[in-house]
Structure 1
């Protein structure tokens, strides 16, 4: 067994409850919850109230928050790395940007997802939100077409982000998902994986920031083949 194969086997271990169907069900419910939360958010809301609204949506869907807090970030807080606390009391404006980042558990399986939304007609904010999602799919297609390692995928993402006029926040370097809890199996990042990551095992994260520090946009989803992104 080569060292590379051994590293991949170790990094991609799963627990006894793991199943592809279970992971896809958790992903589907996560994407659905993101859309439901986004519909509940309106200008004039305080960020802390939006977080509580997001928790209410998850409770109503019988989804349990798991290994990281529910996050909804408004305006200037969208530039912050996830481990940085939001500036309190930020109100969503009529011309503004926000993102949602949730990691709910469905039965034994972990979901994780994020997306960015805008209000108003600010073209830069709208482009940043769109570019975060487009860059996610661009990077994912390099994985599909060329079998690149996690290291190479994030090097490519950083280069493309610069070409698009943004900064890529490498403090969000992708991570494992599995039957809960993945942290008992592997805590390393996708960006440090020196092998081709397998489908149904990894979350690809893209966090773009305006070079002037005014706002950012976030998109994350499970690393999967093209056929899974029709929804």
Structure 2
């Protein structure tokens, strides 16, 4: 009963609409990547994201636009950025967009690198790799949310990175998902249903002050 309540949806929810919201949000992430360049302030990048989403015809933003440069890639969603850094010629950043399209919530985030820093590129790649491995584990094993994050921690460590377990995924659905009070994916004991949960992976470099982030809908 509790699992069913935690995965409840509203009256307009349609899985295909969730997939469309996911696709539209990834389209926006890809386009904003083309607009962010060295010399830009973090605040300027956030403003550019909002302009782009308006141009693309979003219904609304359901969580604040998040762009992190450099050391701020170690910050969790609820932590404010340290200052307003300018993107360097060799740097790392991530974009996290939560957008409503046709009354359904898209949420996508990815990390990008400018310049030639090998460690930064490896970190960005590792976040996507760990996500893919956890997603496949979900598909093949039917593991619950907590078990998925235990697996994510194992895989991150095996690859030489630290997993930030303060970031543990969350619900989405037809807007607003928040009325269902489902909590974090990493605290959900049952196997998450497709089209309802965002898997978030945030890694930290073991010695250098930066990290990487990747998230997508489990579907």
Under TM normalisation by the shorter chain, which class is it?
over 0.9
SS at match of 2:110: strand
Moved over 6 A (4+): none
Question: 2:138 & 2:19 partners in 1: Cα distance?
Answer: 19
How far is 1:7 from its partner?
Answer: 2.2
The C-alpha deviation readout for 1:165-224, integer Å capped at 9, x for no partner, is 111111110011100000001331100111111100100000001122510100000002
The C-alpha deviation readout for 1:51-87, integer Å capped at 9, x for no partner, is 0001111010111443321011100110111111001
Aligned to 1:161: 156
Q: Which has the higher strand share?
A: 2
**Paired residues of 2:145 and 2:192 also in contact (CA < 8 A):** yes
Greater Cα shift, 27-36 or 179-188: 179-188
Aligned to 1:113: 108
1:175 to 170, 173, 198: 170
Unaligned 5+ residue runs, structure 1?
A: 1-5, 225-231
TM-score, with structure 1 as normaliser: 0.92
1:145 to 123, 140, 144: 140
Q: Does structure 1 residue 53 correspond to structure 2 residue 48? A: yes
Number of equivalences: 219
Question: 1:200 & 1:213 partners in 2: Cα distance?
Answer: 35
Question: 2:83 & 2:28 partners in 1: Cα distance?
Answer: 24
Question: 1:187 & 1:83 partners in 2: Cα distance?
Answer: 18
1:189 to 162, 166, 184: 184
Unaligned 5+ residue runs, structure 2?
A: none
Question: 1:171 & 1:60 partners in 2: Cα distance?
Answer: 33
TM-score, with structure 2 as normaliser: 0.97
The C-alpha deviation readout for 1:89-110, integer Å capped at 9, x for no partner, is 2010110000000100002100
Q: How does 1:5-84 map to 2 (within 5 A)?
A: 6-84=1-79
Question: 1:184 & 1:160 partners in 2: Cα distance?
Answer: 33
Supply the RMSD in Å over aligned alpha carbons. Answer: 1.0
Aligned to 1:134: 129
Q: Does structure 1 residue 203 correspond to structure 2 residue 198? A: yes
